[in-house]
Amino acid sequence: MRQIHSPHQNARPDGVVIDLIVLHAISLPAGKFESDYIEDLFMGCLDHHAHPSFADLEGLQVSAHFLVDRSGDITQFVATDDRAWHAGISAWQGREGCNDFAIGIEMIGDEEQTFTDSQYRETARLCRVLMHRYPAISTESIVGHEDIAPGRKWDPGKQWDWQHFHRSLSHIRKLDINPI
């Protein structure tokens, strides 16, 4: 797994229990599935003049713990014990500020094209590793950004097949990637 250290992170509150995984979808610009612009965004060095749609992102400080590209390759931007800035204004089961207790996984995708089998497999594998490391995370506490910020966020969206993901998750038994 490739690791890049994003400056858009900080410490979680003392005593917090990590018990949620939030799945996201991202493409920059919209409909383009390369990771370079996404990495630049998470690193705070996106050229806001490279595409007209990037103007709205100027000054945005955002990151995720992980990015899963279309081939299933994973890049880690923030250590899981630290707080990534992925959820924004959010709430889950009556608790606000999901960044405090969640791990964010971005998948390169949009609402127009299906996600790849590699993304389902590797996202499920990553979730299994995280569930092993953080036992408070259950299958039911792997949610979409749309679930913690309804009406504000759409991702991972209609193209993310939750049944396919749960089948992939149930088939992962052996933890065969390095723990994070």
pLDDT per residue as tens digits for the range 105-135: 999 999 999 999 999 999 999 999 999 999 9
- The verdict on residue 176 lying in a domain is no
Residues 1-18 have pLDDT tens digits of: 999 999 999 999 999 999
Out of 39, 106, 122, 146, the active site residue is 106
Give the model's confidence band at 171: pLDDT under 50 very low, under 70 low, under 90 confident, else very high.
confident
**Predicted confidence band at 148 (pLDDT cuts at 50, 70, 90)?**
very high
Could you confirm whether 146 is annotated as catalytic? no
The domain that contains 93 carries what CATH number? 3.40.80.10
Domain range for 154 is: 2-171
Residue 40: inside a domain: yes
Does residue 88 belong to any structural domain of this protein?
Answer: yes
- Residues 94, 75: Cα–Cα separation, whole Å: 31
Q: What percent of the chain has pLDDT over 70?
A: 96
Is 43 within the bounds of a domain? yes
Residue 180 lies in a domain: no
Query: Measured between alpha carbons, how far is 89 from 87 in angstroms, rounded to an integer?
Result: 6
CB-based contacts of 157-161 (< 8 A; 24+ apart in sequence): 157/25, 157/109, 157/110, 157/111, 158/111, 159/25, 159/109, 159/110, 159/111, 159/112, 159/113, 159/114, 159/115, 160/23, 160/25, 160/107, 160/109, 160/115, 161/114, 161/115, 161/120
Q: pLDDT tens digit string along 33-79?
A: 999 999 999 999 999 999 999 999 999 999 999 999 999 999 999 99
Total count of residues recorded for the chain: 180
The structural domain count of the chain equals 1
Does residue 130 sit within a domain? yes
pTM of the model: 0.94
